[in-house]
Chains A and B, each alone.
Chain A
Amino acid sequence: MDIGVELATMQMMNGNEAVARGAFEAGVKIASGFPGTPSTEVMDYTHLKHPEIYCEWSTNEKVALEVAIGASFAGYRSMAIMKTVGLHVAADALGGAAGSQINGGLVLVVGDDVGRIAGDDYNDCRHYGNMFNIPVLEPSDSQEAKDLMIKAFEISEEYSTPVIFKITSVICKTSSGVKIDPDYTYEEKYRNKYPISFSKVIMTTIMTKAKGSEHPKLTKCFNDFPAHMNRLAEDSNDFEINRLELNDKKIGIITAGTPYYYVKEVLPEASVLKLGLVTPLPAKQIKQLAEHVDKLYVIEDGHDIMEKNIKDLGISVIGKELWPKFPEMMRFTPDVIEEKLVPDAPKRTPQEGVPFRLPVSCAGCSHLFISRVLKKHKIKAAADVTCGLIGCFPHMESYSLQKCMGSSIALAHGYNVAKNNTENFVAMIGDGGFWATGVNGLMNLIFNNSQSTVIIVDNSCLAMTGGQNVASSEFGFNYKPENKLDIAKVCEAIGVKDVVTVDAYESENLEASILKAVNSKTNSVVIVKKPCVTKFKLPKEKQYYIDQDACTKCRKCVGVGCLAIESKGNNGSTEIVINEDICTGCGLCSTACQFEAIKN
């Protein structure tokens, strides 16, 4: 087979890279965001491949979106990048932008973790489309991810609205060919249509139309956003990105995203409405399909949002009654569709009893050292998210409370206040969580007279998402040494009475510092420093092994939670061994062994 002409301009890209390319071709000037699987790489690729675009990791998602909104008002196309959990943080900013006047196109790239591949709590960013009355676009492969990004900016400007660009863990992590014009030259897009842009609060207060005044100072503030959206809904019936494929009359399927391709593979004859714009819906196209087929199904990953919106149009459609959502099903696959719609297809049964894999900290992680101290002294503590949350899983049981990013400081404060400060319930938080929103919790803790102890794990990056820079990192897109924030100085400036910094690997010092802080009757911060072992590839100084003659199989070392410590063997003859390839030589396990069986 020869390389075809078409394939010569094809490049393999995953969805994240294709979104970045789309932003580039759309003439985006500003990209701001906060790391979050699966969409972190959108920023990484934008920065790596398209230096024309200004990139920043902001301190959190709300800040990131506000940066993009400001840049959009300045007249330049801007995108904010985050995962759906991050959009919850940024929701207030999005509510402010929704319905307001848009100059440069404003697109919010949001990663939905369908199937909870990377561990989200089963969110769906399309809800924000319904709530804020703003459009949501969703691509089905990398080519579309690139093309739809350009369309997203056009829609944003034409209909004066922020646009949510939904990508999923499947889109983000799937590579396929994208047609690229190698001679494409970047052109920064600028549009300055409105002298003001206010949140809906201003116009709903003035209510120009209701009050009947045509004074230009009043009408200037009025942005008829419902009319824009109604026009978009009407126009979307003719959008090429919404494609009606009328075939077989028995089965009709409304779908979007990667499920479109599952449908095409399993049911090649079916009639399909493939949506690129998933909110608002093209009512005419849906009615046309409904009239063409005997049975109409909706196949959508995430929540039953299109299903409800279609039913609101007065059209009956089969969705979650056939494919119940969580916990019965995590996401669509070709198999899931085939099982229900192609009953005679042969079934495959997986091998029974294959053990699953719980998420686990990297060997040598500073979180393991902290977990060990907390468990040894039965210190009750709240975890945050990111790598520290692994301490909540059943093989660790280091923490009893865990919620969202940046929450642990305020959670501990609330607990301690409720218990009249009779217990010192400790907050553990990573540097990422601290800067994201945790610092607010710390300020609150001080001015509300808390006695809580906070452990801040400074591993010099946002480790869980692959090591992006945070405010206290010594690297990053816009890093300047003089602008690096210092965790200890900020804690002191906020008014924390007792701030100490310890090295995670100095086990005795770490233990003493945490105990001292916990037992003191004042607020305190223990900063535990150790660069992330995975990001910074710390050199291995020692190789530990277990002397099987000395080992009593008490399993204390297993309780450390290190990936390198394994149970080996079947039929009861288990040995505990250290996996040489994984061991980083940190020595934590040897401190857990009372029988000196762990040696180096």
Chain B
Amino acid sequence: MQDSGKNIIIAGVGGQGILLFSNLLSKFYLKRGYHLKISDVIGLGQRGGGVESHFRYSAKPVLSPFIKAGDVDYVISFEQTETLRHLHALKEDGVLLTSTYELTSTSVNARLQKDLPECKTEIIKRSENTKFIIEPNAHKNLDFDINKMMNVVMLGYYAELRNYPHDEMIQIVRENVPAKFVEGNIKAYEMGSQIAREELVAEECVAIRC
């Protein structure tokens, strides 16, 4: 394998399954013999706080558990306020995968702080990095709740983007999620990889309503 390793920040809010995402991904890279360091930063409060996972895989032992700003190859974010919090950390050729899902910050709800004056998706689209944007509302379906399974949708998307074998990834999903959620998760995975295939063919992001 030519890939000597990557630095990934996985971001979102509590309850979005960020830790499951990094756990599933870690199984894949471990099987390939990489060294890993995964550092989870979870805020106070059970739900709705920002969560970030610094995920590093490397052919050589990983040193720092935190990735320096400017050293990030991929930002994978399930919530777009959190996307903006981490966007600057990407390398110049770093890639962004983000959902347009948004959970308004408590401080904004309580009017303790002003939100950004314009639509966050528009700010994200102005970034010079390569970016892939998924709008969950455009993919609502009866098989699974996309807002709850965006993590696995994103896993399928990422795997397609990296050209990883889906069979292997699906097997990892199968082995690591509770039995009653396996089918939904596999459908979510397949939807993610399908969206990525279509977009990679079109070579541009879907138009996002603001």
List residues of chain A with CB under 8 Å of any chain B CB: 1-4, 7, 10, 12, 14, 117-119, 141, 170, 173-177, 258, 261-262, 264-266, 333-335, 338, 346, 348-351, 353-363, 387, 390, 394-395, 463-464, 534, 558, 563, 565-568, 570-571, 579, 581-582
Q: Tell me whether B103 and A350 are in contact (CB under 8 A).
A: no
Which residue on B lies nearest to A259, using beta carbons? B64
| Residue pair A351, B37 in contact (C-beta under 8 Å) | no
Q: Please, which residues of chain A bring their CB within 8 A of the CB of B49?
A: 357, 359-360
CA distance A464 to B62 in the complex (A): 32
Chain B's closest residue to A364 (CB) is: B47
Q: Quick check: B42 and A534 within 8 Å, CB to CB?
A: no
- Check B33 against A353 for contact (C-beta < 8 Å): no
Measured as residues with beta carbon below 8 angstroms from the partner, the interface class of chain B is 35 or more
Q: Which of B104-112, B151-159, B184-192 contacts A (4 or more CB under 8 A)?
A: B104-112
B45 at the interface (CB under 8 A from A): yes
Q: Does B208 lie at the interface of the complex (its beta carbon under 8 Å from any beta carbon of A)?
A: no
* Residue numbers in A under 8 Å from B88 (CB-CB): 348-351
Asked if B106 and A7 make an inter-chain contact with CB atoms under 8 angstroms apart, the answer reads no
Bound-state CA distance A463–B46 (Å) is 9
Top-3 shortest CB links A-B: A395-B110, A359-B45, A355-B105
Q: Is B143 an interface residue (CB 8 A)?
A: no
- Taking a contact as CB atoms closer than 8 A, the residue among A117, A354, A363 that contacts B116 in the complex is A354
The residue from A177, A394, A395 contacting B36, defined by CB atoms under 8 A apart: A177
Question: Using a Cβ cutoff of 8 Å, how many contacts connect chains A and B?
Answer: 180
Return chain A residues, CB-CB under 8 Å to B38: 12, 174-176
**Known contacts A7-B33, A176-B37, A571-B117; is A360 also within 8 Å of B64 by CB?**
no
Residues on the A chain within 8 Å of B104, using CB: 566-568
Most buried by B among A4, A350, A351, A570: A351
B206 within 8 A of A: no
Min Cβ gap B6→A in Å is 14
Chain A residues whose CB sits within 8 angstroms of the CB of B89 once the complex forms: 348
Is B117 in contact with A176, judged by CB distance below 8 angstroms?
no
Among the listed A1, A141, A354, A357, which residue makes an inter-chain contact with B34, where contact means beta carbons less than 8 Å apart?
A1
Min CB–CB distance A258 → chain B (angstroms): 6
Indicate if the CB atoms of B36 and A176 lie closer than 8 Å.
Answer: yes
Is B180 among interface residues, defined by CB-CB distance under 8 A? no
Q: Which residues of chain A have C-beta atoms less than 8 A from B117's C-beta?
A: 353, 570-571
Q: How far is the CB of B13 from chain A (nearest CB, A)?
A: 7
14 new A-B contacts, CB < 8 A, other than A119-B44, A175-B39, are: A117-B42, A174-B65, A177-B35, A258-B65, A334-B64, A335-B69, A348-B70, A355-B81, A360-B47, A361-B45, A362-B47, A394-B110, A558-B109, A571-B117
Contacts of B116 in A (CB 8 A): 353-355, 570
Quick one: which of B13, B59, B69, B70 has the most chain A CB within 10 A? B69
Indicate if B68 sits at the interface (CB-CB under 8 A). Answer: yes
Interface check B179, CB cutoff 8 A: no
**Chain A, interface SS category:** loop
A567 touches B118 (CB 8 A): no
Interfacial chain A residues near B105, Cβ < 8 Å: 355-358
Interface pair B112/A360, CB less than 8 Å apart: no
What residues of A have a CB within 8 angstroms of the CB of B110 in the complex? Answer: 358, 394-395, 558
Q: Are B106 and A570 in touch, CB under 8 angstroms?
A: no
> Shortest beta-carbon distance, B48 to chain A, in Å?
4
Q: Does B209 sit at the interface, judged by CB under 8 A?
A: no
Could you tell me the distance in whole angstroms from the C-beta of B85 to the nearest C-beta in chain A?
5
21 contacts between A and B (CB under 8 A): A3-B32, A117-B43, A141-B65, A173-B40, A174-B37, A175-B36, A262-B63, A349-B88, A354-B81, A355-B115, A357-B13, A360-B48, A361-B45, A534-B46, A568-B104, A570-B117, A571-B118, A579-B103, A581-B147, A582-B15, A582-B103
User: Contact at A334–B66, with CB atoms within 8 Å?
Assistant: yes
Q: Are B62 and A176 in contact (CB under 8 A)?
A: yes
Distance, CA A473 to CA B88, complexed state (A): 46
For residue B84, which residues in chain A have a CB less than 8 angstroms away from its CB? 351, 354
Does any Cβ of A come within 8 Å of B148's Cβ?
A: yes
- Give bound CA distance, A579 to B102, whole Å: 10
Whole-angstrom CA separation of A493 from B85 in the bound complex: 53
Known pairs A571-B117, A581-B148; A265 contacts B63 (CB<8 A): yes
Nearest residue (CB) in B for A576 is B109
Least Cβ–Cβ distance between A189 and chain B, in angstroms: 31
Whether the pair B44, A264 counts as a contact (CB closer than 8 A) is no
Q: Are B66 and A333 in contact (CB under 8 A)?
A: yes
For residue B64, which residues in chain A have a CB less than 8 angstroms away from its CB? 258, 261-262, 264-266, 334
Contacts of A346 in B (CB 8 A): 70
B66 touches A360 (CB 8 A): no
Q: By the criterion CB–CB under 8 Å, are A563 and B106 in contact?
A: yes
CB-CB under 8 A from A464, the residues of chain B are: 46
Measured CA separation A113–B119 after assembly (Å) = 35
B173 interfacial by beta-carbon distance below 8 Å: no
Residues of B with C-beta under 8 A to A356: 105, 107, 113
Is B26's CB within 8 Å of the partner chain A? Answer: yes
B31 at the interface (CB under 8 A from A): yes
The B129-158 residues at the A interface (CB cut-off 8 A) are 145, 147-148
> Which of A177, A333, A358 is B112 in contact with, Cβ under 8 Å?
A358
Q: Which of B32, B63, B107, B111 lies in contact with A261, CB distance below 8 A? A: B63
Q: Is the CB of A395 within 8 A of B62?
A: no
Query: Roughly how many angstroms separate A575 CA and B48 CA in the complex, as a whole number?
Result: 19
Residues of B contacting A579 in the complex (Cβ-Cβ under 8 angstroms): 103
- Interface contact B37-A1, CB-CB below 8 Å: no
Chain A residues within an 8 Å CB radius of B107: 355-358, 395
Give the Cβ gap from B30 to chain A, nearest Cβ, in Å: 7
Q: Which of B50, B68, B87 has the most CB of A within 10 A?
A: B68
What chain A residues lie within 8 Å of B162 (beta carbons)? none
Q: Which residues of A contact B36 (CB under 8 A)?
A: 12, 175-177
Q: For B119, what are the chain A residues with a Cβ–Cβ distance below 8 Å?
A: 570
B42 in contact with A118 (CB, 8 Å): yes
**Contact in complex: A581, B145 (CB < 8 Å):** yes
In the bound complex, residues from chain A placing their C-beta under 8 Å from that of B114 are: 353, 355
In the complex, what residue of chain A is closest to B105 when comparing beta carbons? A355
Q: Does B41 contact A (CB under 8 A)?
A: yes
> A394 near B37 (CB under 8 angstroms)?
no
From the candidates B13, B68, B106, B118, name the one contacting A334 in the complex (CB within 8 A).
B68
| Cross-interface CB contact of B85 among A258, A351, A359, cutoff 8 Å | A351
Cα separation A10 to B46 with both chains bound (whole Å): 31
| Given the contacts A334-B66, A395-B106, A118 and B44 also touching, CB distance less than 8 Å | yes
In the complex, which residues of chain A have a beta carbon less than 8 angstroms from the beta carbon of B112? 358, 394-395
B1 at the interface (CB under 8 A from A): yes
- Cβ contacts under 8 Å, B45 to chain A: 359-362, 390
Q: In whole Å, how far is B137's beta carbon from the nearest beta carbon of chain A?
A: 12
